[in-house]
Structure 1
């Protein structure tokens, strides 16, 4: 298993509150192991999962969608059905991003050139990485 973390240690390492970790465990986003004395222990993979959750939350993705993505990532299966589900999930994420872009477009158009340039500079590296990844995946 590697290093095992109690909830307080995990909260400190990941900068995510114990309350949030507890909630994620309750809804099935995290699967702690239970010790004989009923302590919850979290493995190294949990740190990665929490990073994914935070990433998708920044994209305003609902927790139920995040849970689906994480379940698919954990499967690490190349079976056609699993790959198809994963591609469907990516398509859902893309629809979600498209809706976000449509919402922000009028706001962007109301900004002056300097404000717009500042915002685009923040998004451009991530956008280019995403576009490149999509081309590799679907190209």
Structure 2
């Protein structure tokens, strides 16, 4: 079995800095099972980049008055998948706004959007975009 070296992962100090919490908080959340860490052969703990969002979620829920046990229940796999789906919907909405703003700007500049865009986008891509928009709106 290959040894884990932590490549692509965050050390506890890096995670603490990015998530704006203390290393002690990360230790506590890890002991409670709110965060998952991988250990290297030298016993260092490494965290996925998704741990940043997880800590932000925990901190937000604490501010809302939930206990850590209640938060742990919410962090079940099914619930976290729903959070990821919500984030995806928010990003799609943000992209829609950005695309609308760009198209509006191009229109003001005299760009004939329909013909030019149709030339650049394949039928398959257009169909996929439409399906994604229907799915997430």
* TM-score (structure 1 length as normaliser): 0.51
Among 18, 32, 55, the residue aligned to 2:23: 18
- 2:105 aligned partner: none
Corresponding position of 2:46 = 41
CA deviation string 1:92-127 (max 9, x = no partner):
xxxxxxxxxxxxxxxxxxxxxxxxxxxxxxxxxxxx
Aligned residues: CA RMSD: 1.9
Cα distance per residue 1:63-104 (max 9 Å; x no partner): 000001012424x38xxxxxxxxxxxxxxxxxxxxxxxxxxx
Paired with 1:44 and 1:18, the residues of 2 have a C-alpha distance of 16
The structure with the largest helix share of the pair is 1
Residue 79 (structure 2) aligns with:
73
Paired with 2:57 and 2:12, the residues of 1 have a C-alpha distance of 18
Asked if structure 2 preserves the Cα contact closer than 8 Å seen for 1:32 and 1:40, the reply is yes
Tell me which of 18, 34, 37 is aligned to 1:32. 37
Quote the Cα distance in structure 2 between the aligned partners of 1:3 and 1:13. 15
* Residue ranges of structure 2 left out of the alignment (5+ in a row): 1-5, 83-137
For residues 1-139 of structure 1, what are the structure 2 equivalents within 5 Å? 3-71=8-76, 72-74=78-80, 76=81
How many corresponding residue pairs?
Answer: 76
Runs of 4+ in 1 over 6 A off after TM superposition: none
Larger of the two Rg values belongs to structure: 2
Q: Which runs of 5+ in 1 are unaligned?
A: 78-139
For the residue of structure 1 that corresponds to 2:10, the secondary structure is coil
Any conservation in 2 of the 1:2–1:43 contact (CA below 8 Å)? no
Which structure has the higher relative contact order (CA within 8 Å, separation 6+)? 2
